[in-house]
Amino acid sequence: MLLRFLQKDNPLLIPLLFIINVLLWLNEIIHPIYVAGVYENYPMPLYQLVLLIPVKASWWIASILSLIVLIQGFLLNNLSSKFRLIDQGTYLPGILFVVFVSSFHQLHQLNPLVFANIFLLFSLHVVFPTYRIEKTIDPFFISMFLISVGSLFYFPLIFFAIALFYFMLNTRSFYWREWVVAILGLITPYVFAFSAFFMYGKTLVLLQIIQHQLVDNASSIVLDFRYLAFFIFLSLIMITGSVYLYRNVLKKVVTRKYYSLLFFLWLQTFTMYVLFPSIYLESIFIFSIPFAFYISNNLISTKSRLAENVILYGSLLLIVFLNNI
């Protein structure tokens, strides 16, 4: 019953999504928090501008951040409908994304990836239409430029240019101008950033910030086992569900290409989480993009009532557990 309601392209789901988001953020809106970490102690240039606000723990900051998460959910739904990532019209990817991200209460404060993730989502919107369009240049410059600008909030985002290069290799024949232009799009924001720091004699400062954002430990606190259980459950559902999707659901070549990029995003985020001690809970913003699409498609397409119940109610139970409801 619940899944049937969530599966439909029902306008009532929009206010419901808003209400769910408010409820998940309500505690931090009433009791706002701010704990400085690596990315606050050594912020990238654009995140430095955000941190200029005099009050960093406030109900209105938490409200704005929850709204930004909600907007990202709508961006995911737009991506899904625009490129037919799920055959049936549904708001489910956006709902799952918002619920997954908002369940991590330690992220209900200023953090750079809440801003940087918007640029990653827009870059996917730009690069997806390039499938089977040969010798096109502008989309690759723009998508890489967006990734690079996002990394001026959160430097590790720059490595997700690798995912876009993977998409180029996987969907089109090699055309050297596209790769040159993509690399130019990637380095252009840093030309401006280093020029600005150079003007003030602080070129080394920017390099030190980048170093800290890669090698400093994000937290001395042991990861809460509830978060770990939630991540492992979603990852197992995604990995096992991908086998079902590729065998039975994803018939179109273009859709397979899109989902292979989403899986690459998951794999790359996990690899970066293992390699870089600075990457911590904020990575759920990126993890939740492939989670939302793979789990939504499995819920909608599976013909097994058991699999449907395990995915839906298992996720709900973990979300309740995570939020101490």
Q: Where are the domains of the chain?
A: 2-322
Burial class (CB in 10 A: 0-12, 13-18, 19+), 128: buried
Greatest C-alpha distance within the chain: 64
Q: Could you tell me the pTM of the whole model?
A: 0.92
Please state which of the ranges 173-182, 243-252, 264-273 shows the lowest mean pLDDT.
243-252
- Separation in Å, CA 130 to CA 26, 141, 165, 167, 284: 41, 12, 13, 10, 27
Of the listed ranges 56-60, 71-75, 248-252, the least confidently predicted one is 248-252
Q: Which tokens hold the place of 72?
A: 């990202």
Helix (H, G, I), strand (E, B) or coil at 200: coil
pLDDT at 56: 87
Two tokens, residue 259: 């989902």
State the amino acid at position 82 in one-letter form: K
Structure-token pair, residue 171: 């969907």
Whole-number pLDDT of residue 222: 54
Query: 104, 284 in Cβ contact below 8 A?
Result: yes
Asked whether residue 141 carries a pLDDT value surpassing 80, the answer given is yes
Distance between CA atoms of residues 21 and 194, nearest Å:
38
Name the residue among 120, 126, 117, 116 with its Cα closest to residue 83. 126
pLDDT at 221: 55
Q: Measured between alpha carbons, how far is 258 from 167 in angstroms, rounded to an integer?
A: 8
Q: Of 208, 223, 237, 243, whose CA–CA distance to 283 is shortest?
A: 223
Write the Ramachandran bin of 234: left for phi over 0, alpha for psi from -120 to 50, otherwise beta: alpha
- pLDDT higher than threshold 90 for residue 13: no
Q: What is the mean pLDDT of residues 108-122?
A: 95
What pLDDT does residue 4 have?
Answer: 64
In degrees and rounded to multiples of 5, residue 63 shows phi and psi of -65, -45
Beta strands in 88-217 (DSSP E): none
Residue 309: pLDDT band (50, 70, 90) is: confident
pLDDT band at residue 224, thresholds of 50, 70 and 90?
low
Does residue 147 contact residue 167 with C-beta atoms inside 8 Å?
no
Q: Crossing angle, helix 92-102 and helix 13-30, to 10 degrees?
A: 10
One-letter identity of residue 322:
L
Residue 129 to residue 81: CA distance in whole angstroms:
13
